[in-house]
Structure 1
């Protein structure tokens, strides 16, 4: 089927799901179709947040089109494997895409990581995650510290990514396995950051308390 074919609400009660199922099937038959499907995803499934109550902007947990593109990445990996061909295709999708499409690639790497099937994509995926962490777009930074980033980013880079989210005002709920990876050096960096904020007369973000054994703002010890 063509990924650009219109759907009819009269015959299809869920056009978004039908489009995604068709697009995934197209990718399975012809992996080259992923390029057009990636570009069409937001128009076909929407751009709303996955968790509107807790994440109305879709920065922390992603958006509906993020999830659709992630599903397309999984379909691509199923079709061509997780070797150099897939790595090259994902790299092209990322660098030729806009911010939303770049998030989709990163969220797709997360999906593959969560099912234990990232294969040989780690070097290319790390390059993409590092590129995202250099961006000023909070949604890209958040996408880079999901399951793939938590598994594969080195500790130094990961710590700075966590603090960048705090600086950007993004909830640390975006960080996968935060408790497992947080360490004494991150604690120190969080305290230094809080001290700089106080010295400048600025508010200390509440999320910094998640990185230390005490409340930076009140000095109280956590239970």
Structure 2
């Protein structure tokens, strides 16, 4: 289930429904609603292990961009990402699979994967990346997960997109770690121990 289809507990859901109605009626109110979403609905774990504030922000972004078309939706997502804090950026990345943006939001993935913020890296390697990130950038995203301690379990469609070049890169990374006397992440070892 995507975050856009996730419902919260009744009290938080009632507050979120009111915010969603507001941004649907007046999309220009989205930036303010997006920023205060955590104060309005709460923070912390929610349904399916998703943070309550992430669910709220994803639903707000989806509601505000319905009918905006790929270019309009991508522009809104880009603006929220560029002006948001790390939590808001993560929510934009998590919303991408539910947005009508085509390939237009791929630059946001590239930006997130240049950071060392494991929350952004994890969010960037979800279903949108699996569907839209070019092979080379996707492979580097997998390695970035290993570098930053993001579990490979968060990488959407890893078995389907895995190839010999990714295995070569992970094997080289593991060899470099060993040569430096450092531990190799268990995810890297597990990947290399399985046949694609």
For the aligned pair, the TM-score class normalised by the smaller chain equals 0.7 to 0.9
- Identify which of 50, 57, 60 aligns with 1:72: 60
Q: Aligned residues, how many?
A: 188
- Identify which of 140, 152, 156 aligns with 1:172: 152
Structure 2 Cα separation of the partners of residues 62 and 149 of structure 1? 19
Answer yes or no: is 1:111 the counterpart of 2:103. Answer: no
- Give the Å deviation of 1:211: 2.9
Contact 1:48 1:63 in 2 (8 A): yes
- Give the Å deviation of 1:103: 1.0
Compared CA separation, residues 169 and 51, structure 1 to 2 (3 A): farther
Q: Which structure 1 residue ranges, 4+ long, deviate > 4 Å from structure 2?
A: none
More helix by share: 2
Contact 2:121 2:150 in 1 (8 A): no
- Give the Å deviation of 1:84: 2.2
- Give the Å deviation of 1:81: 2.7
Q: Determine the structure 1 residue equivalent to 2:184.
A: 204
- Give the Å deviation of 1:122: 2.9
Structure 2 Cα separation of the partners of residues 184 and 202 of structure 1? 24
Answer yes or no: is 1:129 the counterpart of 2:105. Answer: no
Q: Mapping of 1:122-161 within 5 angstroms?
A: 122-161=102-141
Contact 1:24 1:75 in 2 (8 A): yes
Q: Report the secondary structure of 2:119's partner residue.
A: helix
Q: Report the secondary structure of 1:124's partner residue.
A: coil
Q: Mapping of 1:82-101 within 5 angstroms?
A: 82-101=69-88
Q: Determine the structure 1 residue equivalent to 2:167.
A: 187
Answer yes or no: is 1:23 the counterpart of 2:19. Answer: yes
Structure 2 Cα separation of the partners of residues 210 and 26 of structure 1? 47
Gaps in structure 1 of 5+ consecutive residues: 1-12, 53-60, 113-117, 215-220
Q: Determine the structure 2 residue equivalent to 1:218.
A: none
- Give the Å deviation of 1:16: 1.6
TM superposition score normalised by structure 2:
0.87
Q: Determine the structure 2 residue equivalent to 1:63.
A: 51
Q: Mapping of 1:206-221 within 5 angstroms?
A: 206-212=186-192, 214=193
Answer yes or no: is 1:162 the counterpart of 2:142. Answer: yes
Q: Report the secondary structure of 2:139's partner residue.
A: helix
- Give the Å deviation of 1:62: 4.9
Gaps in structure 2 of 5+ consecutive residues: 1-8
Superposition RMSD in Å:
2.1
Contact 2:65 2:76 in 1 (8 A): no
